[in-house]
Amino acid sequence: MTAPEPAEVWEAWREGLQSPLATFQAFRTALRADLLEAEYRCFGAGWKARNGVSQVGYREFRDALIDEEPLLKWALAHAEARLDPASGPEEAVVWASWRDLRVGLRMRREAYMEVRAGGRRALSEPLEDLTEHLSLDPAQGLLFGWVPAGEVVAADVEAFTLATEWRIDDVVVLREP
């Protein structure tokens, strides 16, 4: 299996994590390219907490998973993916099938905030409830968003994002007889 060309990686991330299938496409492209930071970004806060996996420990987790299922990268790279019809607006399942291997990725829509300041990502955190960080002033027609900025200096802020993305909440690998 060859690594994807840079243009293919950019295309997979162009839509980002805005739908369950887009998240699957971004994940499998990052997996093929061995872009561990991008792979890790596809996983949700719940999955990270349940599995006790930090960004630093992700490589070890990933290597153990691939040792357990050596064809996983190949299968995901060549799999046909489809959205489970029972998927809803906050939770979804993407099924990826290749030969006798089926991978189910349970996805959840997660709110997050990100602040870019001083040419770097200064803050990137999942949010329990997006509505706690938004306020609407209908009289002025304005929507306000705020985050605990810590040591971020307002004058250095280049971008502030408050949004939702589809993230992987669980992965189930099945072998069909």
Q: What residue spans define the domains of the chain?
A: 6-175
Q: Which of 19 and 112 is assigned the larger pLDDT?
A: 19
- pLDDT tens per residue across span 53-83: 998 999 999 999 889 888 888 889 899 999 9
Identify the pLDDT of residue 12: 72
Rounded to 5°, the CA angle 70-71-76 comes to: 130
pLDDT in tens, 19-58: 999 999 999 999 988 888 889 999 999 999 999 999 899 9
Which pairs count as long-range contacts for 10-13, CB under 8 Å and 24+ apart, including other chains? 13/38
pLDDT of residue 130: 65
Model confidence at 154, pLDDT cuts 50, 70, 90, reads confident
- Quick one: which of 171, 176, 177 has its CA closest to 66? 171
Is residue 129's pLDDT more than 70?
Answer: no
Q: Counting Cβ atoms within 10 Å, is residue 94 exposed (0-12), middle (13-18) or buried (19+)?
A: buried
Give the mean pLDDT of 145-156.
Answer: 72
**C-alpha to C-alpha distance for 68 and 63, rounded to whole angstroms:** 9
